[in-house]
Amino acid sequence: MEKTAVTSICWVPRGKCKAKPVPADAEDDAELRDAHDALMEGGAASSEPANLDGLEEFGLDKYDDDEENQDGMQFFSVLKADGALSREKDPFMEGNPDSDSESEDYHEIRPEDLIFCAVSCEEEQCTLEMYVYDEDEANMYVHHDVMLDAYPLCVDWLPKTANADGGSFAAIGLIDHQIQIWDLDRLDPLAPIQSLGEPKKAKKKEKLKKKQGKTKGGVTAHEGPVLALHGSVFNRSVLASGSGDETVKIWDVAENACVHTYTHHSNKVQVVKWHPTEQAVLLSASFDRRLALLDVRQPGQACTVELPAEAESAIWSRHNAFECFASVDNGGVVCYDVRKVASKASDAEKVVWQLQAHDVACTAVQDVPVPNCLVTSSLDGHAKIWNIAGGKPSMVLAKNLQAGPLFACQSNPEAPGLVSFGGNVPVVWDLASEDLLAEVFDFPKQEAAEAM
């Protein structure tokens, strides 16, 4: 089914999802079984004398002495025994006896499966979908999905929450100022496992408290749509967010708290990215046409550089720790030397190279694990592959992905040539399968990739 827009995509690390996600009502069923056992233990098996006040005429105190009723009393003990037996697994039965599907094993998530999450919006509903991509067949399917109650703008993967120290979770930034965290190992959940921030309705009460002077401490929730999210690779409890309220926030997910707010931008913050090797360094980019580098331990000392236009996306180079790439809404892409951004060099000196990648907004720029290979996507519906060797980008291949305008793009760090895109539908493009790209870039051979 065609979507209105797949607004954001993120890959889930291999082996982090349960083989068989737990139905949301499984815990309720467990509680019912426990209550049943307690009833059987406390009712039929109890040795405590029952209160028979007012029931003397029925002679219930001598009911056990009546030989004719001994068979009837066996009902409770049989029921108790059968209840325990019914929960034992038949050693001769294969598969799940409660499943209506004969292909349950087909939908089991294997440790080697490639999985990504996509958030999307149709005419009547917003959705988080978890896809399984089959490398051998080069196709994908939705394993399960979650209905969202507000328009999703960004998504990132997390391994922990305030209530769980391990698992697989999706953090989603919403247009109603919330950051919701959903458990990817649960089917059909009715609510997120955790929320950072409050919806719009709660803001009216908050403003009223401010006027009355009763608010203690700073406001932790964003006051605008959450446009960007990125979790730290060093501390998986730390999450950065950027918002339409012109702020960058750092969250401690485990403590369910905002630990700092940064205000170095003067317009919507479109991008936040932690540095892959420097724990305290954060990149942000905004509609104020500025890209900023921030050491989060030193608030108020952000170094900035001017962008050619309003920011669309930005990433750190995975092959050069001193470079970052940014794409803007006029179709351009710029590579910056972050050492010069942090110095007093002119903006022109901070630019390593610059190119006009597309004629309209370049919504995403991504590098892949293979050196010198850069991917861009655009509202024109095309994805382009660039060779950036020697600091002189040249286009190698352009492809119309037949998915309408492209809003998102992310490369898979565990599969050198695999890139996912979000348009009217999600698309996965295996760059290693293209002969032209295989000739230019050093993609590992298929056999080697499977052994990784």
Q: How far is CA 202 from CA 35, 177, 213, 223, 304, in A?
A: 37, 11, 17, 11, 34
Contact criterion met (CB below 8 Å) for 400 and 410: no
**Computed from CA positions of residues 397, 398, 400, 403, in that sequence, does the dihedral angle turn out positive or negative?**
positive
Which has the closest alpha carbon to 356: 365, 368, 347, 346? 365
CA nearest to 4, candidates 108, 93, 127: 127
Residue whose structure tokens are 């401010």 = 210
Going by C-alpha positions, the residue among 354, 362, 308, 307 that lies closest to residue 331 is: 362
Residues of the chain with pLDDT under 70: 1-3, 25-106, 198-219, 445-452
Q: Give the span between the Cα atoms of 121 and 64, in whole angstroms.
A: 66
Give the residue among 209, 303, 296, 302 at the shortest CA–CA distance from 261: 296
Among 398, 403, 431, which residue's Cα sits nearest to residue 138?
A: 431
Structure confidence at residue 448 (pLDDT): 38
Q: What single-letter DSSP state applies at residue 25?
A: T
Strands 22-23 and 186-187: parallel
Give 242's strand partners.
228, 248
115 phi/psi in degrees, rounded to 5? -130, 140
Task: Say if strands 194-196 and 179-183 run parallel, antiparallel, or are unpaired.
Answer: antiparallel
Query: Which residues are paired to 335 by β-bridges?
Result: 325, 353
Q: What gap in Å lies between CA 175 and CA 321, rounded to an integer?
A: 33
The pLDDT, as a whole number, for residue 425 is: 94
In the three-class reduction of DSSP (H, G, I as helix; E, B as strand; rest coil), residue 350 is classed as helix
Q: Is 97 helix (H, G, I), strand (E, B) or coil?
A: coil
Residue 111, burial from CB neighbour count under 10 angstroms (0-12, 13-18, 19+): exposed
Residues contacting residue 371 through CB under 8 Å, at least 6 positions apart: 319, 389, 441, 442
What is the DSSP code (8-state) at residue 330?
Answer: T
Residues 6+ apart with CB under 8 A from 279: 232, 234, 235
Which residue's structure tokens are 């104020």?
Answer: 288
Q: Bridge-partner residues for 182, per DSSP?
A: 170
